Amino acid sequence: MKNCLKLVCVLGALVGLGVQAPMAVAAGGKSAEQKVAKKTVAQKSAAQSASKPAARKQVAKSSASAKPKAKAVHHVSSSDGDLDPRRLALYSASALVIDQSNGQVMVEKQPDAVVPIASISKLMTAMVVLDAKLDLQEVISIGDEDVDGLKGTRSRLPVGTTMTREAAMLLALMSSENRAAHALGRHYPGGMPAFVQAMNRKAHALGMVNSNFEEPTGLSSNNVSTAHDLARMVAAAARYPEIRNFSTTAEARVDLNGRIRDFHNTNALVRSDNWEIGVSKTGYISEAGRCLVMQARVADKPVVIVLLDSNGKMTRVGDANRIKRWMESAGLGTGGMRRSV
């Protein structure tokens, strides 16, 4: 009986050891896996930490390249191997640079997109007034009809202000005064309807096939055009001495009802000694973004520059300066290039 009990105890002990051994192995295996896992995690963490600066740099680079309109917008042909397309990046949604000496397109970006053009419209307003050969010394007045009821923009010309047609044109082109531009259209023979018809007839005559004008200020988003069409308009405007003079005047003192007022050009580049500008006009409404058109001499070439819907308050000026530096550094005054895409 005692022997049987001993045998049972021995078997029980062996069975207990047999069960505990696998459990111990399993527990030991889990601990090993955890160590391996921890080591792997530590290695990954170290690798990630080591790569964090590079990752941040890459993210910043990607973020910069993801900004709208921040990529280079042109490619040159193989014959212009000295021109690096990465040297020119434009932030305007539409852009066009044309060499007036031969009509060659030098830079372009969405040049046929039909978009609102804001106060660039005032160049057409001035041309229509001058084409009608109206007396520039005739006194016209600012009326209630000239107050902006569309955008609610402010003006330094109170209702009742009188000035010569010449002064109104100067303020419209130089300081982009909306009431002055509207008054020019309202005092046109036949009134505003006749003036708007004349604007669209002029556009058609210039070959501006994708343009439409609804009023003389550009406050309406229905005043639309393309960079190609506007290049035609700017080139035409450059043939009017009055437009060349008024649009590039840096500042002027104007007598308004016996009170002298100082006005400044909306394009800061006309005050720069680094630019030789023949025609200038800026524009802005929310639908159009910030726009700039110019006829200028760059790298000893007469060029028309059109920049529409620039991304940022100063970007249109920045784009113009980038184009100028690119042309000068590329030596485009002595050589040509294929148009960009």
Show which residues are catalytic: 119, 122, 176
Identify which of 96, 94, 98 has the alpha carbon closest to the alpha carbon of residue 113: 94
Pairing status of strand 289-298 against strand 162-164: unpaired
Interior angle at CA 149, CA 143 and CA 150, nearest 5: 135
**Distance separating alpha carbons of residues 55 and 61, to the nearest angstrom:** 10
Joined together, the tokens standing for residue 278 give: 């023949």
CA-CA distance, 334 to 116, in Å (whole number)? 36
Within its chain, how far is the Cα of 26 from the centroid?
67
Treating both helix axes as pointing N-terminal to C-terminal, what angle do 227-237 and 121-131 enclose, rounded to 10 degrees?
A: 40
Which residue blocks in 208-313 are alpha helix, DSSP H? 227-237, 241-247
